[in-house]
Structure 1
Amino acid sequence: MKLVYPALFTPFEDGSGGYTVEFPDLPGCVTEGEDMAEALFMAEDAASGWVLTELEDGNPVPHASLIQDVTAEPGQFVSLVALDMDAYAAKYGSNAVKKTLTIPAWLNTFVEQNGISCSKVLQEALGKMAQARQ
């Protein structure tokens, strides 16, 4: 699942080149970086972690505001931050739920002969279905 959220970047008051980053659509999701590159990296990581926690808790993914609807104060700016939730969840996701799968015997033979992981195929298919409904 790919998501994009607007983020509000506020320069550090000391003029050091760092930024605080907030996500208006993700309450309490705030991070910072010592420069623009680190701020962007930290923003993607913080927002991905926030969304993953919501998904693992069974909550819906918040809808993203339009970038033009996010108001920046003087000195601030708004930028879009892209999230790859599939990659993030594969790396950091902790909650797994065991499901029992029933398939025809001939299909099970095919799966075993070809070294296919039913769990992986099901996860990928369900992920695509979830993304299509967003």
Structure 2
Amino acid sequence: MLSIYPACFYKEKEGGYSVIFPVLGIATCGDTVEEAMTMAIDCLAGYLYDAKISGETVPEPPKMEDIDVDAEYDEYESAFVNMVTVDVDEYAKKHFEKAVKKTLTIPSWLNDLAVKEGVNFSQVLQNALKQQLNV
């Protein structure tokens, strides 16, 4: 599902861009406007993904025209408000849910039986860890 939040982009006097999501209270930056947008997407995705995992309620996105760019920050060369969009689930699959290889040891007889039954070892381990950790 696509999430859309307005962000204030500030061109800094000394160079680079700062990005603030007013309603979320999160911020990031980049050397160029393109890098700042990339970082804004990452920042928004990380915030929303973390909120989803921890069960936190996320504020509704305000309308872009309701954002006062001057209310957030006042030490900049220029500023604009832009909508930042991200599909959090898709972004998480690429960036946050990267698989990690683990080596484990089990008794040979258990391995043989599981292989014979066509057990997916990775799925069993993931399910067991989720149950153990209550996630």
TM-score w.r.t. length of structure 1? 0.63
**Which residue is equivalent to 2:23?**
25
Which amino acid in 2 is paired with 1:36? Answer: V
1:6 aligns to 2:6 (yes or no): yes
Deviation at 1:48, TM superposition (A): 0.6
Give 4+ residue runs of structure 1 displaced > 3 Å after superposition. Answer: none
Larger radius of gyration: 2
- Between structures 1 and 2, the one with greater strand share: 2
Cα RMSD between the aligned structures?
1.6
User: What are the Cα deviations for residues 71-110 of structure 1, in whole angstroms up to 9, with x where unaligned?
Assistant: 012822100000111112223148xxxxxxxxxxxxxxxx
What's the secondary structure of 2:69's corresponding residue? coil
Unaligned runs of 5+ in 2: 99-135
Number of aligned residue pairs: give it.
Answer: 91
Which amino acid in 1 is paired with 2:49? Answer: L
What's the secondary structure of 1:41's corresponding residue? helix
TM-score w.r.t. length of structure 2? 0.62
**Are the counterparts in 2 of residues 25 and 64 from structure 1 also a CA contact under 8 Å?**
yes
Q: Superposed, which structure 2 residues align to 1:62-77 within 5 Å?
A: 62-73=59-70, 75-77=78-80
